[in-house]
Amino acid sequence: MKMIEHDNEIEITDISDFDLQKIFECGQCFRWNPELTRLNGTNKFCYIGIAHGRIIRMRQTEKSIFISCSRNDFNSIWKDYFDLDRDYKTIRNKLCIDDFMLRATSFGEGIRILRQDKWESLCSFIISQNNNIPRIKTIIEALCREFGDPVKFENNIFYSFPPASKLAGLDIRDMVPVRCGYRAEYIINSAKMIADGTVDLNALSAGSPESAGVELEKLHGVGSKVANCVILFGLNMLDAFPLDVWMKRALAEYYGPGFDPIVFKPYAGIAQQYIFHYIRNNSTNK
């Protein structure tokens, strides 16, 4: 990987397995949106998003990735956020244990597991229950608009993700503008348990996926699926293997009963993303 500093962007070259669309639209994150932006007299397809209280615009060419940030922010935030030091090409090759995984990893080439804020990930996947991605994004944006801090980017105002300490002090009635239904109770109760240290997300990330799952499922409204999503996408434990309806369909179709994801160890979570992305985009029963 090489980094080139321009006036308003950092350019990254010589990196494999990086596809903006696949990364942002594979179901792991909800605060990145595509747009056409006029740059240097030409319309460019970009993504704009906010993470860790920072807003950036990203675009990609055949050979480079461009990030609208400073060198300092790239080194302290975005390099880690996009997991740029990990060799996903080698991981993909190790996961090709059969013809199906060969197809799934090839189709998903470019996916990376983002290193997201732990609390944001937990809250987002609580919201994701029995929900579709457009509505999840709408609810999360409403939550941030109501309770997050404004962050200016060019001529627009975005909002940071509200910390657990702020949401812990809310009443259910405060959540009415967010329109998240029964999930409001889950969010507030979880925020209280995170804020008072009953569940310590930083400590969980230093343990095992199994122990983290036990602790996360103490949170009201958090079951196995949500817990495993948080373990993978929030705690960045790459051996977690979330199972939703798409994954259950894929495993039933290609592996049958009794399948054990241990065959993908220590990258079962990355394998899960390749399988999930493949089945969701190639299923005849969408």
Q: Which domains does the chain have, with CATH numbers?
A: 2-85 (3.30.310.260), 118-233 (1.10.340.30)
Task: Specify the pLDDT at position 286.
Answer: 47
Task: Specify the pLDDT at position 204.
Answer: 97
CB atoms within 10 A of CB 208: 12
- In this structure, of 115-119, 265-269, 280-284, the range with the lowest mean pLDDT score is 280-284
Average pLDDT over residues 191-199: 96
Question: What does the alpha-carbon distance between residue 78 and residue 58 come to, in Å, rounded to a whole number?
Answer: 11
Q: Is the pTM of this model over 0.85?
A: yes
Residues 6+ apart with CB under 8 A from 18: 12, 60, 65, 82, 110, 112
**In which band, very low, low, confident or very high, does the pLDDT at 155 lie, cut at 50, 70 and 90?**
confident
Task: Specify the pLDDT at position 42.
Answer: 77
**In which band, very low, low, confident or very high, does the pLDDT at 272 lie, cut at 50, 70 and 90?**
very high
Task: Specify the pLDDT at position 44.
Answer: 80
Task: Specify the pLDDT at position 284.
Answer: 58
pLDDT above 70 as % of the chain = 99
- Asked if residues 270 and 15 have their Cβ atoms less than 8 Å apart, the reply is no
Question: What does the alpha-carbon distance between residue 236 and residue 234 come to, in Å, rounded to a whole number?
Answer: 5
Within 13 Å and on the Cβ side, how many CA atoms surround 76? 8
- Six-digit token pair at 261? 């994801």
- Asked if residues 77 and 70 have their Cβ atoms less than 8 Å apart, the reply is no
Tens-place pLDDT, residues 53-81: 999 999 999 999 999 999 999 999 999 99
Please determine, for residue 167, whether its predicted confidence score (pLDDT) is greater than 50: yes
**In which band, very low, low, confident or very high, does the pLDDT at 37 lie, cut at 50, 70 and 90?**
confident
Residues 6+ apart with CB under 8 A from 100: 254, 255
- Six-digit token pair at 50? 């906010």
Question: What does the alpha-carbon distance between residue 7 and residue 272 come to, in Å, rounded to a whole number?
Answer: 38
Tens-place pLDDT, residues 95-128: 999 999 999 999 999 999 999 999 999 999 999 9
Please determine, for residue 41, whether its predicted confidence score (pLDDT) is greater than 90: no
Question: What does the alpha-carbon distance between residue 91 and residue 82 come to, in Å, rounded to a whole number?
Answer: 16
Please determine, for residue 256, whether its predicted confidence score (pLDDT) is greater than 70: yes
